[in-house]
A and B are shown apart, each in its own frame.
Chain A
Amino acid sequence: MKQKPPLLFLLPYLLVTAVFMVYPLINAAILAFHQTNGPAARAFVGLANFRYLLTDPTFGQALANTSIFALCSVLVQLPLSMGLALLLNSGKGWARGLLRLVLFSPNLVGQIFVGVLFSVLFTPRYGLVNQFLQALLGWGLEKQWLNDPALVMPAIVIAALWLYVGFNMIYFLAALQGVDKSLEEAARVDGANRFQVFLHVTLPSMRHVVVFVVVTSLIGSYQLFELPLALLSQSNGRGPDNAGLTVVTYLYDAAFITGDLGLGSAVGWMVAFIIFSLSLAQIKLARVAED
């Protein structure tokens, strides 16, 4: 039975979407072919913005930095999240709840605040990270994390690790609860060791969540901006030799510091293209995982 559309409930959504999403989206497409000087003046430049981006070594570096960060998120942060989830999963009682809360707690702190905090934690000689590494490994007391091009990305990865490791752990922990215990027991009886059971039984049965977490981590990574902006505020969020420049920082500088909203929109479309490709990959992978 078809009814009238319940406009009373839908109207706010339709209005907001038309005015603040569809219209700006069309404008973003138009802007990408223009060069602007702030919001007032614009001139048609055709594909020049995209041509410029594809040949600009700085944008290339931003893309490379962001991709390295995305890879680190998946290859360093997610395995650690999974490890913590596995350690917590077999635990019981109040200690488990408390530890889950503790490990999740950095998520209450926003990226800007984490950047502010870690910009001091990475201080040579006095910073907590420097002193901790020196005490544990005998290395790193005088390291200039935020001024050394080789250490800038590791610093961003460490700060992001602190922030997000517990967040992804929550997903893995929820997925582990749904794994069929009898399958694991059966594999154990057949002589598989703990690692083999995890690789061949546990991991495949939580593949949907793994695909979801990997793709959302990648999508989030390509939009990294606020954390490096605050962390590297001494170099305007870019780091020495642009070593910490991300794609969205590049967009921010182009659109709102330089004032070229056209170039900014072109970068925006690049980000949209990356996210769109990743989302399609997720849909494809989810289908494969169904079989």
Chain B
Amino acid sequence: MTTNAPPVPSKKPFLSTLVFLLVPVLLLAGVIALFVFTKGAGLNVIPAAPIETLQFERTILRPGQIELHLRNTSPQEITIAQININDAIWPYTISPGNTIARLGTAVLKHPQWPVRRQLQERIADRAGIQRTYWDRAKQRGTGYLRLFEPGTSLSEAFQRESGQELIANRHRTCACSGRSGETAGRRRSPEIVGKKISG
């Protein structure tokens, strides 16, 4: 069935259109006014202390050594004074130097990796503020990282202490992401240990 009735033009009153046009503009103006009259809702407050962030971009675990690749992404330079691993102060070396410029990088090495279940790092800088990072996997309750001294039977020690399945898949994948890791993954897989990461 068809009809020949002409289409009825829709009625859109000018006032209604104007309201729909002005509402968002007025809302935006209100937000701007609020921002201005509340002095930026606190954005103008200068922080009491600089926000310091040190990114751990890469961690390489070697037998007897941990190597941290650091980047300073905070607004000003950071100087590393001492390091704390699992509540102990350990010697370290850092290159090119202790002071990392803004957006600069440095490589920090511990000459020995302590045998602990938890991986915790604290880095105290000259401002006397300690920074802490935890193994993210540990925080999720999914795993932790370990490295034993050369000569230790890694798989046996790991299983004895943790009672966990020894797998290398996850970390072998990690190891394969780097050139030296490829070698490690192929030749030294028994030394690549870690609790199964399920998350």
Are A and B genuine complex partners? Answer: no
Which residues of A are in contact with B by a Cβ distance under 8 Å?
none
